[in-house]
Amino acid sequence: MICLELFVTFFKIGLFTIGGGYAMLPLIQADVQAHGWMTAEELVNFIAVSESTPGPFAVNVSTYVGAELAGLPGALCATLGVVLPSFLIILLVARFYAAFRASAAVSGAMSGLRPAVIGMIGAAAVSVGQTVFAPDGVQALAGYPLACSLAIFVLMAFLTHRKLHPIAIILLSALLGIAAGCLRPM
Amino acid sequence: MRTDLSKARLLFWTFFKIGAFTFGGGYAMIPLIQREVAERRRWLKDGDILDIVAIAESTPGPIAINSATFVGYQVCGTFGAFCATLGVVLPSFLVIYVISFVLRQFSQLLVVQYAFNGIRAGVLALLLKALLSMYRQSPKGAVAYAIMAGAFVLTAFCGVDAVLVILASAAIGLAASHMAKRRAAE
């Protein structure tokens, strides 16, 4: 039963994600957190795992959530769910390739979708920001200085701007996070 | 039939390699597809890559899956699409499935929690950077800004379903471009 629920949820996520990369984040936040499959913190942690492992975020997150909830069958159902909408739609589009590219309806809809995705990723960033600056439910981290998170964020924003590789950003912020945790006043 | 089978096998391995060596997914995959599929195998012309990106962006689902399905279909039909898609998904699936066993155990360690505390700040920086570059490429104008702001507020503060926001903004984009065309015709 859980497998069917995984399949349906990730099918919906795959179907309504337009554009690459983080465009999937708002939908995943809504569905995966609403089901209680992952907390906000776990999801942001997993973004880092996904950036440092091969493959698209969509496949990574669906495989992970599926495996956590129902082992191999769960991982298969969730991943199949997230891949299937793209696969079927592209098969259709590839057949009517020229018509699709020239279609006024497609470009019209896209002119509304692209800004909407940006607004929605902005909303996702707000909730990621909450996990950084106002984390809840992490008792072990009580007393973890907020200033450290802020300093790490500012430094990483600068280094990202200077085009440091995402994996280097993640490694460096992990080291700084450990340093800040170990040096914090007891 | 024989050549089709060997083509399909080649598609599978080519996209397996692409899936295994792209970190962060999506756009990171495009240069690799270009090198393997256009330059090395000559399955497509260089200009086709731009078409693939355009189609992958304007259809639902992750760019990696969309491009693999599309290229596979162009090279040898539905079976080719299946092999290419399976190839691109499999590396992430395997890696994440293995990691899922480890991640749960390690995430209890205090030092790992410290690391992730730093990492979340780094992820926020990466996310904002991605947002900024998407914003630079997005359509400008009053309608686009209104959709952006509307999608942001509705998702972040009003808890509106992301699917609804997607559907509504596609409809608004469609209507707005239709009206602009009518006005231009008059």
Which residue type sits at B126?
L
Shared domain check, B120 and B92: no
Question: Closest chain B residue to A97 measured between Cα atoms?
Answer: B55
Same-domain pairing of B74 and B21: yes
Question: How many Cβ atoms are within 10 Å of A74's Cβ, its own excluded?
Answer: 22
Residue pLDDT, tens place only, A23-81 = 888 888 888 888 999 888 888 888 888 888 888 888 999 999 999 999 999 999 999 99
B131 in the same domain as B143: no
pLDDT digits (tens, 9 = 90+) for B96-124: 999 998 887 887 788 888 888 889 899 89
Give yes or no: residues B49 and B120 share one domain. no
- Tokens 């793209």 map to which residue? A86
Same domain, B79 and B164: no
The answer on pLDDT for A9 being more than 90 is yes
Q: Are residues B79 and B119 in the same domain?
A: no
Please tell me the distance from the alpha carbon of residue B109 to that of residue A50, in angstroms, as a whole number: 20
* Nearest beta carbon to residue A63 from set B54, B93, B120: B93
The ipTM assigned to this model is: 0.84
B85 lies within 8 A of chain A by CB:
yes
B143 and B160 within one domain: yes
Are B122 and B72 part of one and the same domain? no
A147: exposed, middle or buried (Cβ count in 10 Å: 0-12, 13-18, 19+): exposed
pTM of the model: 0.84
**Would the CB atoms of B117 and A72 count as touching at under 8 Å?**
no
| Domains contained in chain B, number | 3
Residue-range domain boundaries for chain A: 2-135, 138-186
Selected residues 55-74 of chain A with any CB under 8 Å from a CB in chain B: 55-60, 63-64, 67-68, 72
Q: B23 and B91 share a domain?
A: yes
**Does B155 lie in the same domain as B94?**
no
Q: State which residues form the domain around B31.
A: 2-98
Rounded mean pLDDT, A17-21: 74
Least confidently predicted of A65-69, B46-50, B79-83: B46-50
Higher pLDDT, A83 or A53: A83
- The minimum CA-CA distance between A115 and chain B, rounded to whole Å, is 5
Whether residues B127 and B143 fall in one domain? no
What confidence category does residue A139 fall into, taking pLDDT thresholds of 50, 70 and 90?
Answer: very low
Of A60, A156, A180, Cβ closest to residue B122: A156
- Do residues B167 and B130 share a domain? no
pLDDT tens string B151-184: 999 988 888 888 889 899 999 999 998 898 888 8
DSSP symbols for chain A: -HHHHHHHHHHHHHHT-BSSGGGGHHHHHHHHHHTTSS-HHHHHHHHHHHHTSBS-HHHHHHHHHHHHHHHHHHHHHHHHHHHHHHHHHHHHHHHTHHHHHH-HHHHHHHHHHHHHHHHHHHHHHHHHHHHHHS--S-GGGTT--HHHHHHHHHHHHHHHHTT--HHHHHHHHHHHHHHHHHHS--
- Per-residue model confidence (pLDDT) at position A153: 94
